[in-house]
Structure 1
Amino acid sequence: MEQTVLAPVDWWVIAAMLGASLLVGFLVKDQASEGGVEGFFTAGRKMKWWLLGTSIVATTFASDTPLAITGWIARYGIAGNWFWWGGVLGSVAMTVFFARKWRTSGVVTDVEITELRYGGPAAATLRSVKAFINATLVNCVILGWVFAGMSKISESFMDWQWLLGSGLYGAMEAAYPEALLFGSFDNTLTIAVLVVVTLAYSALGGMRAVIITDLVQFALAMCMSVLLTVLAVSHLGGLEAMWDGLAAIYPSDGSATSLDGTPYLTHERVAAFVPDFGDGVVGSLGIPFSAFVLTLGVMWWTSGTVDGSGFTAQRLYTARDGGEAEKGALWYSFANFMLRSWPWAIAGVAALVIFPRPDVDLAARQFTECLHQEQACTLEMRECLENRYACSVPEYALLYRDEGQLSRDGLSAAAVAAEDEATVVVFREDRERSYPAMIRELLPAGLMGLMLASLMAAFMSTVSTHINWGASYLANDFYYRFINPRASEQHLTTVSRLATLVIALMAIVVASTVDNIGSMWELYGGMMAGLGLPHLMRWLWWRANAWTEISGMLTGFVLALANYIAGQNALLPDGQISIFPAFMASHAVHVICWISLVSALASVVATLVTAPVEAAQLRRFVARTRPMGFWREYAEGYAPERSFRESLWYFALGGSSIYAGMFGVGYLLRLQYAQGIGLLLLCSVALAWMVRGMGRIDRGVAAP
């Protein structure tokens, strides 16, 4: 079969990227073998701030992220990014209050901190339960989302039948279990190859290999995302021409509508930075104003990750010292929101002009007609349906087949009559696919392969983190802690490598069976809502104990699970979306916030009715981590490196700086130079003030 999308040079570029990742694993495998579990999972605790900070950014830069943001731009406008822009405050809080503490704690996993902080049988139980949940549920939910994103990217490019030959391809497809397919066999092969390579270098080189490959992979992914955006804007004649084209296709009067009369966003709503919350307003975030306020005011600090727990803390352990950990977290906070936001956002806007929504809607209708009426097909349309790799209709790359109830607005009366409505297939628009569609339309051979390699690298950086992170729980918090605490370093390294294999296989099996990632995220969000306040209390208040976290975790888990089961089994009354009454919760954000409130109350009550942690245990924790907050006589002369009040000031500076810088860049891209330059100056002043003040600790200068 003739190959029509990727040229041989593109395949070689992809192969080179995979080979380079494997080479890193081989080069550092001897170093990974030193130090047992700690050496394998903390990279010897020798990393500089720019390495560990970039590694955190690379992990959050998954292949699905630019696709998701492109979809948000079409549905909500640039303001749709508030779904993740709200995380600025949590990221800065982790940097200012907790980054240094994770490194000085000397732990290998975030759940190990429970025994250091509380001690006793309850803490040991808490440690094992949290390790199991993080290694299984959390990993599989996240990787399921990431795998789905990679499937959408590879679908239009990775023609394995051309590469392997029809005979070998057919035999492999017949032998592969259908239950483990990720959409199609081509997609499955792509994901399988990437996971195998990722597993190999993660198992060989441990955290050191993960961090080094993250650096290269992030640099490649970031450069290529910027290049694609520049080429897309240049294709339209520049930024001014892009905004003019947007205004022409999506006018202010709302006259641009789909075939069924649904209005598209106007160009003002696409370009707006502030969400619209009016009832029935096109382009609103789809959430009530109260839910948006709760996202910014409550959800960021009631999440269990507010203190950095999870893969973020895992990177902080690798720092050379507490100062490097803090600077790495700060670099991550700025890079994550200022550097990454705008290439994807502008690419999403450009995609609305390059592939106008009316044209894509029309193509969807025409291809659906073609499926059900042979005479409605053109030669080009037949070619697309028979071989997507040879398709010459650009809009086809933005369509997906929806098997289910037929919308009568989408077909002619003859087509409706031609098929059984219960089984008919209809083509629909998927704006997330416009990102890979631009790659296909705008990039020449060689650059196309490099762009795909960059997205595969982004995918691998996320997968490698979660495989290594999950394996650290199995090796450190199960095997070493409870099964074989006398194991040798060499033995523990072998166990760590086997654990990465177990986590990878578990993730593939479970992720391929997850049908609704959104509902799983809501379940996870509810469960984590029970840990936000307990995680803050353990660092800030001497009175917190193991039951503080156990009660919060159990309450959040029970409420979230009950809510999930009720929703999945239609056990709720009409108009009610959760186990909470409709007047209390009209959106998932409300549900999660109510779970966090009930769980917080349970945590406080449990804390006050149970015995405090032993004084000797508290003194050991304070001596090692020097936490800020309220520790009474247990500090015994140990003062925190920086006071809580001073940290609050740096928290305010950091949040202001990131938001100012983020919107400053945005205004420049909207060609509003005065606002853009002014906000960037504010960002620079606040950042300089923050960095200078926080650096006093490492310079040995006392606070004023």
Structure 2
Amino acid sequence: MKTLDWIVLIGTLSFIVIYGVWKTRGSKNIEGYLKGDNTMKWWTIGLSIMATQASAITFLSAPGQAYDDGMRFVQFYFGLPIAMVILSITVVPIYHKLKVYTAYEYLENRFDLKTRVLTAILFLTQRGLAAGFTIFAPSLILSTLLGWNIYYTNLVIGLMVIIYTVSGGTKAVAQTQKYQMGVILLGMVAAGILVVKLMPENVGFVDALEIAGKTGRLNVVDLEFDPTSKYNIWSGLIGGGFLALSYFGTDQSQVARYLTGSSIGQSRLGLLFNGIIKIPMQFFILLIGALVYVFYIFQPAPLFFNNVIEERTIQSEVGAEYLDKKERYDNINTEKRQYAIGYLEALDEGNDLEAKKKVQALQQADKKSKAVKKEALSVIEKADPNADTNDTNFIFLTFVINYLPAGLVGLIIAVIFSASMSSTSSELNALASTTIVDIYKRLYKKNASERHYLNASKVFTMFWGVYAILFAMYANRLGTLIEAVNKLGSLVYGTILGVFLVAFYMKNIKARETFIAAIISESIILLCFFFTDIPFLWYNVIGSLIVLIVAYLLKILRPDSNITSNN
């Protein structure tokens, strides 16, 4: 990184932290610290919701996924707008009417204490680990590509978040996320424009889309119903829809964002804003990855984007074998370049027959390059059986570091830091809220003063921040980062959503049936994870349906049950 990059990076991050501390100083009670005194407007809520979901993993992994696999990952979000409408109609009024601090507080009103505590513990377990992921993911990539010390990078990200989140609570999270989203959008738009500008002079934006489409990188929609496929329109609408209902309706890191709304209408508008903007934003991020793929057709493309592992392989006893694969890959890439140029020339000349021949040749060359890369990954595993052979997370940042001008490199790295900080701050705030309201205040210290709970909230925020940093320090292989985080959430979201669906819509089912159904559901989901190949998006559907069905069956088997809820 050049001096200008450091100035942009340090200046951007310093402004966000200082602004967050200054703007939200002086919380007097737990209401202000955890709910922002219910003063937030819809645009702040909407941007905060988006910033919470759009972690650094989104901007590191998503372009790489499009580079390798095309844009079909966007289908993951197709169920989100529907979920936002459902939550706006049903869930938001309930939370506002009851004036709850957390989503799980409602469950004690509807069922009993043990159901509330169970869902809170499931959330704390999953979200505590996820907070470590959101710190570790960018640190891993930045340390590998820039040579930074991964432990110092973890520490810097974690401490910056702790400073303003402990200081200002929910208000600090919401206020800083507005500017973090601004930095993120500015950086990604700049990267998208420059990847097109850096193409050869005779290759424009439309030409790049033509090549991306013909090589399968614009595979946005797959209409085939295939339960074994991770990403198609059905897994997106059904599995992704259930995941969105659970994440935005029951995960405190998101619920806390719209609980700060000054009214039901403001909270609803914030959710609907997210439902409208999220898919186009994710489409654009994936499109950048597809364009980076086209860019590397016209430039020397790395065989493996994690240069540390690649260099280690070259220095090993199988180095000659790897270099042979690399030479073959480079030769195929040269062929792809020639076929792509020939295809565009044939299009300009209106020669459809020649264009078709060049496309077929380009597609065959693309298949050959994938086959050679697969062989190269086997060589890497020979050199080091424990090596992570998934380089998806390194693709976009490799392009940024090697080809973007000074200043913009610093801005993109600021994007990654900002995204990590925005997600982590929401997670720490939500973890502290759930710990203080659902565990500490409810079970251990029921009648303390407002000042005591405010100080305890800050202590728990700091505790979870340190916990996340420690997890990040000791985390190692994560595979595809964006999938790792969603898999982790899917292990518990289905069960939690099922409990809330029973609470909202099955009023005759009581606490005992729901609690037993939740335990059974979570056990089955863990069995599916460890012993089956079911794609993770379906865990959300399976978990929810098991809770609903088992709770209903238990009610039928015990029609004269004297167990009543607290409602």
**Structure 2: distance between partners of 1:299 and 1:374:** 43
Higher Cα radius of gyration: 1
State the shift of 1:553 in Å.
2.0
Alignment pair present for 1:287 and 2:234: no
State the identity %. 19
2:520 to 545, 550, 555: 555
Q: How does 1:521-600 map to 2 (within 5 A)?
A: 522=487, 524-564=489-529, 566-567=530-531, 577=532, 587-589=535-537, 593-600=541-548
Residue 292 (structure 2) pairs with residue 351 (structure 1): yes
Letter in 2 for 1:488: S
CA distance in 2, matches of 1:149, 1:491: 36
Asked if the contact 1:472/1:496 (under 8 Å) is kept, the reply is yes
* TM-score, with length taken from structure 2: 0.79
Given candidates 283, 286, 297, the residue that maps to 2:238 is 297
User: Deviation of residue 108 (structure 1)?
Assistant: 0.6
The correspondence of residues 161-180 of structure 1 with structure 2, limited to 5 A, is none
Q: Which residue of 2 aligns with 1:155?
A: 144
Matched, 1:59 2:22: no
Give 1:87 deviation, angstroms: 2.9
Deviation at 1:527, TM superposition (A): 3.1
Give how far 1:480 is off: 1.6
* Pairing partner for 2:22 from 21, 27, 30: 27
Which AA in structure 2 matches 1:336? K
Deviation (angstroms), 1:361: 2.6
The alignment covers a number of residue pairs equal to: 508
Of 271, 274, 278, the match for 1:329: 271
For residues 552 and 54 of structure 2, what CA distance do their matches in structure 1 show? Answer: 36
1:370 and 1:376 in contact (8 A); partners too: no
Distance in 2 separating the partners of 1:425 and 1:130: 36
Mapped partners of 1:430, 1:43: distance in 2? 41
Alpha carbons 2:104, 2:119 under 8 Å: kept: yes
For 1:284-683, what aligned pairs fall within 5 Å after superposition? 287=229, 293-297=234-238, 300-301=241-242, 304-305=246-247, 307-338=249-280, 340-356=281-297, 359-361=301-303, 368-369=313-314, 371-372=316-317, 409-410=375-376, 421=382, 423=384, 430-511=391-472, 512-513=474-475, 515-516=477-478, 522=487, 524-564=489-529, 566-567=530-531, 577=532, 587-589=535-537, 593-607=541-555, 609=558, 610-611=561-562, 613=564, 618=567
Q: Which amino acid aligns with 2:151?
A: T
Are the equivalent residues in 1 in contact too, given 2:196–2:291 (CA < 8 A)?
A: yes
Compared with structure 1, are the counterparts of its residues 424 and 227 closer, same or farther at alpha carbon in structure 2 (3 Å cutoff)?
same
Counterpart Cα distance in 1 of 2:381 and 2:15:
52
Q: Deviation at 1:452?
A: 1.2
SS in 1 for 2:221: coil
> Match of 2:217, SS?
helix
SS at match of 2:222: coil
Q: Cα distance, 1:523 vs. partner? A: 6.0
Instruction: Note if contact 1:247-1:267 (Cα within 8 Å) is conserved in structure 2.
Output: yes
Aligned pair in 2 of structure 1 residues 435, 611: CA closer, same or farther (>3 Å)? farther
Distance 1:296 1:146, change over 3 A: farther
Alpha-carbon distance, 1:296 to partner: 2.0
Q: Per-residue deviation at 1:209?
A: 0.6
Q: Which residue of 2 aligns with 1:129?
A: 118
* Distance in 1 separating the partners of 2:374 and 2:254: 48
For residues 25 and 546 of structure 1, what CA distance do their matches in structure 2 show? 41
Structure 1 window deviating more from structure 2 (423-432 vs 476-485): it is 423-432
Distance in 1, matches of 2:484 and 2:178, equals 32
2:180 touches 2:422 (CA, 8 Å); kept in 1? yes
Asked if 1:79 corresponds to 2:40, the answer is no
- Map of 2:180 onto structure 1: 217
- Relative to structure 1, is the Cα distance of residues 105 and 78 closer, same or farther in structure 2, using a 3 angstrom cutoff? same
Q: Which residue is equivalent to 2:361? A: none
Alignment of 1:138 onto 2:101? no
CA shift in 2, pair 1:480/1:366, >3 Å: closer
Partner of 1:107: 100
Deviations 1:196-220 (A, max 9, x none): 0100110011111111001111111
Answer yes or no: is 1:14 the counterpart of 2:9: yes
Separation (CA, whole Å) in 2 of partners of 1:613 and 1:422: 62
CA gap 1:521/1:23 in 2 versus in 1, 3 angstroms: closer
Q: Is the 8 A contact 1:366 1:376 kept in 2?
A: no
Aligned equivalents of 1:427, 1:293: Cα separation in 2: 31
Which position in structure 1 is the counterpart of 2:217?
Answer: 270
Contact 1:71 1:348 in 2 (8 A): yes
- Structure 2, unaligned stretches of length 5 or more? 327-371
- 2:405 counterpart SS class: coil
Distance in structure 1 (CA, Å) of the matches to 2:40 and 2:250? 18
* Cα distance between partner residues in 2 of 1:294 and 1:599: 20
- Which of 64, 83, 90 pairs up with 1:90? 83
Contact 1:74 / 1:348 at 8 angstroms: preserved in 2? yes
Q: Distance in 2 between matches of 1:559 and 1:459?
A: 32
SS at match of 2:446: coil
Relative to structure 2, which stretch is displaced further, 586-595 or 98-107?
A: 586-595
| Partner amino acid, structure 2, of 1:354 | F
CA contact (8 A) 2:228 2:535 kept: no
Tell me the distance in 1 between the aligned counterparts of 2:106 and 2:496.
14
Structure of greater relative contact order (alpha carbons < 8 Å, 6+ residues apart): 2
